[in-house]
Chain A
Amino acid sequence: MVGAGLFCIGLYMIVSKHNAIQILIGIELILNAAILNLVAFGKYDRINNGGQMFALFAIVLAAATTAVALAIILNVYKQYKTIDPGQVDNLKD
């Protein structure tokens, strides 16, 4: 029941991967879909809290990922004056 709702979100976000910071938002949404599954099935683990615990870890991981990715995006913008990944095609100058 819970699952059907969340997969739509994660999957339609793959559609959003065409440009820019939106790719990052798409990744966040996919992560959120996974976390929602963890939480939903974490209901069946009252003693060890496996699902909720790893949902927390996943949220923290997502935060770390976003911080680094945004720093990289800003740097890329400084170098190339664009944030379209299709145009960033060389590694060094």
Chain B
Amino acid sequence: MSLVQLLFYIMGFIALASALFVAGTKNVVRSIFMFFITLFALAGLYVLALADFVAITQVVIYVGGILVLILFAFMLSGKETLNIIAQQRKQFISLRRLPAFLLAALFFIVLVNMIAKADVNNLYWIKRAADLKNIIQPDAAMTENIGVNLMTNYLLPFEGISILLMVALIGAAHLSRKGRGQ
């Protein structure tokens, strides 16, 4: 087993375990911080998939932005909500969790089936890419290529998403404004 494979399994295990902990724990603050670890492990997986720029973006946006937002929202929404939630979960523990667990397990089985049948290594476009040498090599620096592509091939989605991001941020600021004239 090569070092890359070993790293992949370690990262995957960390991501899965921390995600399971996020799902399973009762303490919301703790689950948020475990989500932090999940995101870092995912960034490591992106690096292993030779997408260093995406990994950096993941760390900056998710860890720096989204997680802080979630923490803020949680802290602002007060302590008593946590107690209410804890009480409810004790009451409805089997009633609420069983359908969710069944759904997740069945869906997981379906997906594993799909992966097993898809025969990923022999897909025709992957073979074509291998024939054309269109595979990212481990020593390539992709950031420049991504920048050039972003400003040429993907200019329209880029502008679209910038406008959408602005609209979303203005909307969020408007929604969370205090008072609202009442």
Shortest C-beta distance, A40 to chain B (Å), equals 5
CB-contact partner of B165 in A14, A42, A49, A63, under 8 A: A63
Main secondary structure of the interface of A (DSSP, over half): helix
Provided the pairs A13-B23, A44-B129, A60-B161 are in contact, do residues A83 and B81 lie with their beta carbons within 8 angstroms?
yes
Main secondary structure of the interface of B (DSSP, over half): helix
Question: Does B81 lie within 8 Å of A7, measured CB to CB?
Answer: no
Shortest C-beta distance, A65 to chain B (Å), equals 7
Chain A's closest residue to B62 (CB) is: A59
Contacts of B85 in A (CB 8 A): 19-20, 83-84
Shortest C-beta distance, A70 to chain B (Å), equals 4
Contacts of A15-67 to chain B: CB distance below 8 A: 15-22, 24-26, 28-29, 32, 35-36, 39-49, 51-53, 55-57, 59-67
Contacts of A29 in B (CB 8 A): 19, 22, 35, 38
Shortest C-beta distance, B145 to chain A (Å), equals 6
7 A-B pairs, CB-CB below 8 angstroms? A19-B89, A46-B140, A49-B142, A59-B54, A71-B176, A77-B81, A81-B80
Q: Mark A64-87, 1 if CB is under 8 A from B, else 0.
A: 111110111111010001111000
Question: Does B84 lie within 8 Å of A44, measured CB to CB?
Answer: no
Contacts of B39 in A (CB 8 A): 32
Interface extent on B, as a size class? 35 or more
Contacts of B80-104 to chain A: CB distance below 8 A: 80-81, 84-85, 88-89, 96-97, 100-101, 103-104
Question: Does A63 lie within 8 Å of B61, measured CB to CB?
Answer: yes
Chain B's closest residue to A75 (CB) is: B175
Question: Does A2 lie within 8 Å of B45, measured CB to CB?
Answer: yes
Provided the pairs A46-B135, A60-B61, A68-B175 are in contact, do residues A16 and B23 lie with their beta carbons within 8 angstroms?
yes
**B168 at interface (Cβ–Cβ under 8 A)?**
yes
The 8 closest A-B pairs by CB, nearest first: A64-B168, A5-B12, A16-B23, A71-B175, A44-B129, A71-B172, A70-B73, A67-B172
**A8 at interface (Cβ–Cβ under 8 A)?**
yes
